[in-house]
Amino acid sequence: MTDYVGSLQVEGYAPYKREAQRIVDESDTSCYVIDGVLRWKSTDRVPFDDVLAVFLHIGKVFDLEKSRAARDLDTSAMLEEYRRINANRVMSDEERFEARAAFGEGSTVVDIVTGQRFTV
pLDDT tens profile 85-102? 999 899 999 999 999 999
**Higher-pLDDT residue of 50, 5:** 50
Contact present, 13 and 7 (Cβ < 8 Å): yes
Rg of the chain's alpha carbons, rounded to an integer? Answer: 20
Ordered by start, the domain boundaries in the chain are 2-85, 88-120
Q: What pLDDT, on the 0 to 100 scale, is given for residue 2?
A: 52
Q: What pLDDT, on the 0 to 100 scale, is given for residue 36?
A: 97
Among 25, 112, 73, CA closest to 65: 73
Which pLDDT band holds residue 28 (cuts at 50, 70, 90)?
Answer: confident
Q: What pLDDT, on the 0 to 100 scale, is given for residue 4?
A: 59
